[in-house]
Chains A and B, each alone.
Chain A
Amino acid sequence: MTYFDYSATTPVHPEVAQSIQEVLTRYYGNPSSLHRLGVEAEHLVSQARERIADMLMVPKNSIIFTSGGSESNNLAIKGAASRLRKRGKHIITSSIEHSSVYDTVRQLEPYGYEITVLPVDRNGRVQPERVEEAIRDDTVLVSIMYVNNELGSIQPVEEIAAILKRHPKVLFHVDAVQAAGKIPVDPEKLGVDMLSLSAHKFQGPKGIGILYKREAVRLDPLISGGGQEFGLRSGTENVPYIVGMAKALRLAVENQPAAWRRVSELKKRLVAQLTGVPGIEINSPTDDALSVPHIVNLSCTGLKSEVLVHTLEQRGFYISSRSACSSSEDKPSRILLALGLTEEQARSGLRISLAKDHTPEEVDQLASALKQSVQELRQILR
């Protein structure tokens, strides 16, 4: 079996698993305890925070540990909305956000929030000018993701941040969960106020993530209690996973440039073999500047995604139909619809995730398996 579903989740790096095991068994103290065991555990959390901050080139105290990308997104959005509720209740986001952003902002509507959902172009990108047009006096937050999880499109985050500099009262949150390890993530260079990351996308464990928050930004906590994480995220810290995540991030950042080059070649190879094949349309932009090479989204019109996923599984390949978080839904992909595809195309989306460990032969095999499957299924289902 060959795994081509890295965007859903990644295998934990063996060195990361080792670190986690060691911390899990040896350093079991509660970081808030006064005694030596507590001090040691706290020290590990502190070191992890410092190292992660170094990787992202931000100050140590701008890193908040959460239980993952979804929580980071919720904290950013609800925390900011709550804090700024007297200032305004207008939020701007895009039509292709992950559900933990999209559904979260919609969840605020009953509380009097108005949400502007910006459309995307055929490349799956938001136009920065549209962001500026949408800003009102009562806008408090803009949330736009960096790399889209289904298509791989890269949003013009830096341009949007530059525009938002002219509107200093509006906070800018970026869901960068799919970006880490694929392209450089430099929150200060991007110019964002908050940024979400999730460990299991860069070979860390599931259940741990980060919210980067520029130090001057004030949020109300989602989870209150013991006051951990600067009062923004109470709860006894998950020390083993925090340490594991720090190691995973280091490895991912170190390998990122070489990985990108390799994967870029693999994508070209895959796309070359799938272009022009009847029944297969590639949805992801091919231009490397517009999309990360690690994610390739295609539609096999007329064929339901789930059937193809299982067919390819039979042939030895794990891929996905769309965002794993919504794969159990029968509905067409919201992302592909936003792109302007037909409902049929949006129901038949497939997502292939390439990684540096894939070989060109594996890519070839996947391509031919896909072509064959599509051909056979079209015959049967005609």
Chain B
Amino acid sequence: MQPELILLRFGELTLKGRNRTRFEDMVISHIRNLTGDYPQMRIIKTFGRVYIQLNGAPYEQVAAQLKKVFGLRSFSPVLRAELDLADIQQTALKVMQSLSKKPGTFKVTTRRSYKDFPYDSMELNRHVSAYVLSRTPGLKVDVHDPDVELWVEVRQEGVYVFSEIVYGTGGFPLGSNGKAMLMLSGGIDSPVAGWQAMRRGLRIEAVHFHSYPYTSERAKQKVIDLTRKLSEYAREIRLHIVPFTRIQTGLKEEAPENLLITLMRRAMFRITERLAERNDALAIVTGESLGQVASQTLSSLNTIERAVSIPILRPLITTDKIDIIRLAEEIDTYAISILPYEDCCTIFQPRSPSTNPNLGVVERVERRLTWMEEAIEQAVQETELLVIRRGAQDEPSNSLF
């Protein structure tokens, strides 16, 4: 069935008044953003509802894009009928037949805003209901708790019939809740954490630590590719690539081996905090999950986080690995993440990293590393900024193909 309209439903119904309008507008803006391939589409606000008028745009493709929109709770494909009983009945049947899961019970709900229509709501209910029932063996009516509710809306310009509810991704509109810096390592977890943050309304800027020549060009490319995947949900994402070699080699030379990871992570957080300040971000997002690796024991998280004062948001802190992998596959970052290019966390791997670093000891060690403060500032200054845009690989080599 090729619907003509899509009815949109927004999340967080507790919002009222001006906030609600702003929320809706932001979601609509995101929708326009993601459906640029279909310029014939129109988004219409009418009588407290928001519709997409497809105007020939392919429903399946548009629906696929809508599922990526943050702040959209659900949507319904809508068929339009003429102000004629027979047409309404046939359309209603078509809608019922196109449901992917055949319902056992249903109920018809009619809303009539066009008062000149010859049938009133009750009559229309009965006519539509009877028509559908007689042509659908096994279907019964249940007015209290039906499997499916068939809506018939009679308006002046036509009759809208729909029933299927497609769930979107929920969340808050893109960027509506502020900005955060995402520490993007290239592993499986951080892209998923980034997506979850975006879904909840955070605009993210990615930060990646690069230790050339110890880490390769390909590792950097992998992170660019992951950022590009995430940018499919936004329009563009800024990627900050921090030159981390000096700090890593300095730590390797001077710091106790078992504290290497702890000190490295603290330096990374401090650099990211400064980048946050420079870019008006109010939090850092990481893919940390409790207990996964040495640096992610509670003790380590505690010691590491003390290096900064900016809030650290960890969407995956209590998520099982298997669920993280499933999410990564859903957002299509998994295949990129598992490409085997070393990142800086694996390069200088100590034999037995401390799982329970003592904060006092760590701070004392840091105080001895007098070069660190300057090195951190230098890393921040020399950070390379890449703006990764969705879709068009803005490559010079495009013309070759």
A residues sitting closer than 8 Å to B (CB atoms) are 19, 22-23, 34-36, 39, 43-44, 47-48, 51, 243, 246-247, 250
Contact = CB atoms under 8 A, between A and B. Distances in A.
Nearest to B400: A19
Interface stretch (B2-10, B129-137, B214-222, B304-312): B214-222
A39 B221 contact: yes
B401 interface: yes
Interface of B: 216-218, 221, 393, 395, 397, 400-401
Contacts of B397: 43-44, 47
A39 B401 contact: no
Contacts of A35: 217
Contacts of A19: 400-401
Contacts of A48: 401
Contact of B216 (A34, A47, A246): A34
A23 B400 contact: yes
A47 B221 CA distance: 14
A51 B401 contact: yes
Nearest to B335: A61
B217 to A, nearest CB: 5
Contact of A250 (B216, B218, B401): B401
A35 B400 CA distance: 22
A243 B393 CA distance: 16
A123 B253 CA distance: 78
Contacts of B393: 47
9 contacts: A22-B400, A39-B218, A43-B221, A44-B397, A44-B400, A47-B395, A51-B401, A247-B400, A250-B401
A313 B400 CA distance: 36
A254 B395 CA distance: 22
A39 B217 contact: yes
A325 B25 CA distance: 65
Contacts of B217: 34-36, 39
Contacts of B395: 47
B251 to A, nearest CB: 25
Contacts of A51: 401
Contacts of B221: 39, 43
Nearest to A249: B401
Contacts of B400: 19, 22-23, 44, 243, 247
Contacts, number: 28
A261 to B, nearest CB: 24
B389 to A, nearest CB: 16
Nearest to A42: B218
Nearest to B216: A34
A19 B216 CA distance: 28
Nearest to A250: B401
Nearest to B221: A39
B64 to A, nearest CB: 15
B215 to A, nearest CB: 11
B218 A47 contact: no
A47 B397 CA distance: 9
A247 B216 contact: no
A19 B218 CA distance: 25
Nearest to A35: B217
Contacts of A250: 401
Contacts of A247: 400-401
A337 B60 CA distance: 49
A277 B310 CA distance: 90
Q: B218, B393, B395, B397: which has the most chain A beta carbons within 10 Å?
A: B397
Given A39-B218, A247-B400, 20 more contacts: A19-B400, A22-B400, A23-B400, A34-B216, A34-B218, A35-B217, A36-B217, A39-B217, A39-B221, A43-B221, A43-B397, A44-B397, A44-B400, A47-B393, A47-B395, A47-B397, A48-B401, A51-B401, A247-B401, A250-B401
Contacts of B218: 34, 39
A85 B192 CA distance: 43
A36 B213 CA distance: 12
A228 to B, nearest CB: 16
A201 to B, nearest CB: 19
A49 to B, nearest CB: 11
Nearest to B399: A19
Nearest to B217: A39
Contact of B401 (A34, A36, A47): A47
A34 to B, nearest CB: 6
B396 to A, nearest CB: 10
**6 shortest interchain CB distances as A-B pairs:** A19-B400, A39-B217, A246-B401, A247-B401, A243-B400, A51-B401
Contacts of A22: 400
Contacts of A246: 401
Q: B216, B395, B401: which has the most chain A beta carbons within 10 Å?
A: B401
Contacts of A34: 216-218
A115 B183 CA distance: 59
Contacts of A243: 400-401
A257 to B, nearest CB: 19
A51 B401 CA distance: 8
A51 B397 CA distance: 13
A355 B400 CA distance: 25
Q: B216, B217, B221, B393: which has the most chain A beta carbons within 10 Å?
A: B217
A163 B270 CA distance: 63
A51 B395 CA distance: 14
A44 B217 CA distance: 15
A44 B395 CA distance: 10
Nearest to A61: B335
Nearest to A34: B216
A339 B218 CA distance: 55
Nearest to A52: B401
Contacts of A43: 221, 397
A354 to B, nearest CB: 28
A48 B395 CA distance: 13
A246 B218 CA distance: 23
B191 to A, nearest CB: 19
Contacts of A23: 400
A43 B401 CA distance: 13
